[in-house]
Each structure stands twice: as C-alpha cells, then as structure tokens.
C-alpha cells in the first residue's frame, strides 16, 4: 500500500528566505506527483504537477523535483513571502486516477 510522508510537519521562516519542503512515497510505481497548497478553511489549489517521466517543474518562485527511484520529491520556494503561508500537500497518483494518495502536509508560516 502506498504511503506518503511529508517532512517537516511545520516550518516557520522569516520573509525572504529560500526553503525546501519534502515529500516521500513508498511505492515508486507512480503515474505522477502533484503539489498543492491549502489555506485555512479553503480547498486545495494545484501548484505543480510532475509526470513520472519528468524530473522537475517550475512555476514562478516554485520548483518541484521528482526522484522516482528514491521515492522523493521536493518543493523549493524561493524568496518566501507572508502570502506563502499555508499548508502544502503532495499527492501521488499510482494508477491513473484510481489511487491518489495524499501526504499529511507541511504547515508553513512566513513571518514578516
């Protein structure tokens, strides 16, 4: 059974700092991996999708990498801002829509 973990569970950084969030999964047979952010009381917003054949994806200040063989993905946030404060979740798709498994999330606080 696929299991997804995220480290750290919570992170607090000063504004302007670069940071890395980690996502690990136990079964490397994934179709893709997706990163989301969730603001308190809100739904999930898609940030980046990495297909299994890709190594990384970039969107603005965000960069996500994928290493299938080691079962790891990282989300890099450059020059963090208070507006980046949210919970970040990763999810792996093991069977084209039939087996999405989510990590527990990392709660990020960026202090002004």
Q: Contacting other proteins (CB under 8 A), which of 9, 104, 109, 111?
A: 104
**Interface segment toward other proteins; rule CB under 8 A; list 9-17, 36-44, 64-72, 77-85:** 36-44
Comparing C-alpha atoms, which of 67, 26, 66, 32 is closest to residue 49? 32
Q: Is 105 in the site for other proteins (CB under 8 A)?
A: yes
CA 57 to chain centre: 12
Which tokens belong to 94?
Answer: 């093991």
- Distances from the Cα of 34 to the Cα of 14, 19, 68, 83, angstroms: 26, 18, 13, 21
Q: Is 22 in the site for other proteins (CB under 8 A)?
A: no
Q: Kindly tell me which of 80 and 108 has the beta carbon lying closer to other proteins.
A: 108
Binding mask 45-74 for other proteins (x = CB under 8 A): xx--x-x-----------------------
Residue 28 sits at the vertex; the CA angle it makes with 39 and 34, to the nearest 5 degrees, is: 25
Is the distance from CB of 100 to CB of 37 less than 8 angstroms? no
Would you tell me which residues interact with other proteins (CB under 8 A)?
A: 31-32, 34, 36, 42-46, 49, 51, 89, 91, 93, 96-98, 100, 102-105
């Amino acid at each position: 059974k696929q299991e997804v973990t995220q480290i750290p569970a919570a992170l607090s950084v000063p504004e302007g700092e670069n940071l890395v969030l980690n996502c690990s999964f136990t079964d490397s047979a994934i179709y893709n991996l997706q990163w989301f952010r969730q603001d308190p009381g809100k739904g999930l917003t898609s940030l980046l999708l990495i297909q299994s054949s890709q190594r990384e994806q970039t969107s603005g200040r965000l960069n996500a990498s994928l290493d299938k063989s080691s079962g790891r993905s990282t989300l890099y946030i450059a020059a963090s801002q208070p507006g980046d404060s949210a919970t970040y979740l990763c999810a792996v798709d093991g069977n084209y829509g039939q087996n999405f498994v989510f990590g527990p999330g990392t709660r990020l606080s960026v202090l002004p």
